[in-house]
């Protein structure tokens, strides 16, 4: 395990169960956002995530989930993502440890044909759970959205003791339509399941305050920590793949170099043609070095 740290943001290179057990004090975290591998056979940095059975996968999930619960403060909250098929098991387990307040649907559009003989999936479920339903952070105002019903038509709500215009702002419902990260987006990184910053903005703004500690045990491209940093929170991200740790170090400005390699955002194909030769050379050299290393 290796820890990189700067200005209240920690990137831990290692296995989440080991790191949670060894490096995170119990009852010290305000908010956990957990987006683990879903046991669907996705490839992360050349390694396929697939457990020998559903039971083995769930047992692994229960271990890190229990550790995350242990690390939360009594006022803490957790958001947990998984596939539609695994979520019922995860839900039942989490329910025995925390109070689940919302079952959120992250809905997105698909760019291509997904399925022709069944209904393709256009959402991922997210659980929102708290340790204590009578004492938890929820900053409704900072995530309020426009209310599209009565307020837009300037209707009067006569059910109130003193009739008044319908409120024009409301807390979002549990269906969140947020586009997935696309190649042309500025935030895009080379990772198969990067989550959008907009999704994390809502989670972190609602369920933590400035200076709070936000923990992501499966940091990937470190979206959670990047958004936490932008919102003035502290963060801890744990990630097992060195390639993704490098993304985290760069995105969080923890380091500009790693083992002699300059950490730069890779240029997009359409940026390459506009690039000065020197920059292009750097990128070709970095890529060649990385290819040599990954063949070892």
Binding site for ligand SAM (CB under 6 A): 15-16, 35-37, 44, 191, 193-195, 218, 220-221, 223, 238-241, 244
Output the residue with the shortest Cβ distance to ligand SAM: 220
Sign of CA dihedral 105, 68, 224, 270: negative
Question: Could you count the other beta carbons within 10 Å of the beta carbon of residue 194?
Answer: 20
Compare residues 44 and 57 and give the one whose CB is closer to ligand SAM: 44
Compare residues 44 and 128 and give the one whose CB is closer to ligand SAM: 44
CB of 64 to ligand SAM, least distance (A): 8
The candidate with the shortest Cα–Cα distance to 129, out of 70, 72, 79, is 79
CB of 24 to ligand SAM, least distance (A): 13
Compare residues 78 and 238 and give the one whose CB is closer to ligand SAM: 238
The candidate with the shortest Cα–Cα distance to 101, out of 68, 130, 123, 66, is 130
Tell me the C-alpha distance between 214 and 237, whole Å: 8
169-170 vs 164-165, strand pairing mode = unpaired
Sign of CA dihedral 152, 157, 163, 167: negative
CB of 118 to ligand SAM, least distance (A): 24
CB of 83 to ligand SAM, least distance (A): 10
CB of 61 to ligand SAM, least distance (A): 11
Compare residues 37 and 76 and give the one whose CB is closer to ligand SAM: 37
Question: Could you count the other beta carbons within 10 Å of the beta carbon of residue 16?
Answer: 23
Compare residues 21 and 99 and give the one whose CB is closer to ligand SAM: 21
Is the separation of the CB atoms in 217 and 238 below 8 Å?
yes
């Amino acid at each position: 395990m290796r820890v990189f740290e700067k200005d209240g943001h920690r990137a831990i290179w290692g296995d989440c169960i080991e790191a949670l057990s060894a490096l995170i004090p119990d009852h010290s975290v305000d908010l956990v956002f957990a987006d683990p591998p879903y046991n669907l056979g996705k490839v992360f940095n050349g390694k396929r995530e697939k457990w020998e059975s559903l039971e083995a996968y769930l047992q692994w999930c229960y271990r890190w989930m229990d550790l995350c619960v242990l690390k939360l403060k009594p006022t803490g909250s957790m958001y947990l993502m998984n596939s539609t098929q695994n979520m019922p098991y995860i839900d039942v387990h989490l329910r025995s440890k925390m109070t689940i307040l919302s079952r959120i649907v992250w809905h997105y559009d698909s760019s291509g044909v997904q399925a022709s003989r069944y209904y393709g999936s256009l959402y991922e479920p997210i659980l929102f759970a708290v340790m204590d339903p009578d004492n938890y952070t929820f900053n409704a105002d900072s995530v309020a959205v426009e209310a599209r019903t009565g307020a837009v038509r300037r209707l009067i709500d006569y059910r109130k003791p003193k009739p008044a215009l319908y409120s024009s702002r409301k807390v979002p419902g549990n269906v969140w339509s947020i586009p997935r990260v696309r190649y042309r987006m500025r935030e895009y990184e080379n990772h198969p399941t990067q989550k959008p910053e907009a999704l994390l903005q809502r989670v972190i703004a609602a369920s933590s305050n400035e200076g709070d500690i936000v923990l992501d045990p499966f940091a990937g491209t470190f979206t959670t920590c990047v958004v936490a940093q932008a919102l003035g929170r502290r963060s801890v991200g744990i990630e097992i793949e060195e390639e993704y740790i490098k993304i985290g170090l760069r995105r969080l400005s923890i380091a500009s170099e790693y083992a002699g390699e300059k950490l730069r955002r890779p240029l997009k194909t359409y940026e390459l043609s506009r690039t000065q030769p020197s920059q292009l050379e750097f990128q070709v050299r970095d890529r060649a070095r990385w290819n040599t290393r990954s063949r070892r």
